[in-house]
């Protein structure tokens, strides 16, 4: 992407950045890559996500056309979520971002540690993060 206007507030690229900026969006999309899952199974697979946050994330992803909700009749009724064709197009960027994070995690952590040490002296407050 070489267009300088791609990062303006009203541009389409910002939509994608906003979708990827929410940690749980990417995690849920990635967790659905192998096929639809029921909410309980999805939550167990992900770990560390509350039911409320999972529900909000699924609704947000459904609103944006990345996930579809399928309800099945029966007793008790059953619901599952799966990626749409559009949702599948996010798998490659999420994978690339994850590879970058894995490759550079030590550098990022070192930078955070350096900032914390240097910043604590500047602000006079050790342990205070921005």
| CATH classification at residue 54 | 1.10.10.10
> Domain range for residue 104?
90-130
**Residue (of 67, 85, 68, 89) closest to 16 by Cα position:** 89
Q: What is the pLDDT of residue 119?
A: 75
Q: Write down how long the chain is.
A: 130
- Domain co-membership, 62 together with 11: yes
**Residue in the block written with tokens 């197009």:** 89
CA distance between the termini of the chain: 30
DSSP E strands, the chain: 67-72, 78-83
- Domain co-membership, 1 together with 25: yes
pLDDT range class, residue 77, cuts 50, 70, 90: confident
Integer Cα distance of 57 and 5 in angstroms: 29
Counted domains in the chain:
2
- Domain co-membership, 123 together with 76: no
- Domain co-membership, 54 together with 109: no
pLDDT above 90 (res 79)? yes
pLDDT above 90 (res 18)? no
pLDDT above 60 (res 13)? yes
- Domain co-membership, 19 together with 49: yes
pLDDT above 80 (res 21)? yes
- Domain co-membership, 23 together with 78: yes
What rounded mean pLDDT belongs to the chain?
A: 88
- Domain co-membership, 66 together with 99: no
- pLDDT tens readout for residues 95-113: 999 999 999 999 999 999 9
pTM: 0.79
- Domain co-membership, 17 together with 76: yes
């Amino acid at each position: 992407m070489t267009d300088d206007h791609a990062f303006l507030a009203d541009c389409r690229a910002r939509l994608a950045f906003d979708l990827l900026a929410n940690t749980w969006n990417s995690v849920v999309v990635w967790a659905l890559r192998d096929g639809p899952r029921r909410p309980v199974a999805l939550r167990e697979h992900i770990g560390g996500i509350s039911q409320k946050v999972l529900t909000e994330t699924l609704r947000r992803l459904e609103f944006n056309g990345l996930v579809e909700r399928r309800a099945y009749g029966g007793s008790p009724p059953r619901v599952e979520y799966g990626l749409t064709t559009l949702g599948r197009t996010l798998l490659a960027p999420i994978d690339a971002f994850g590879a970058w994070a894995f490759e550079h995690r030590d550098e990022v952590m070192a930078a955070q540690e350096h900032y914390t040490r240097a910043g604590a002296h500047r602000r006079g407050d050790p342990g205070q993060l921005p």
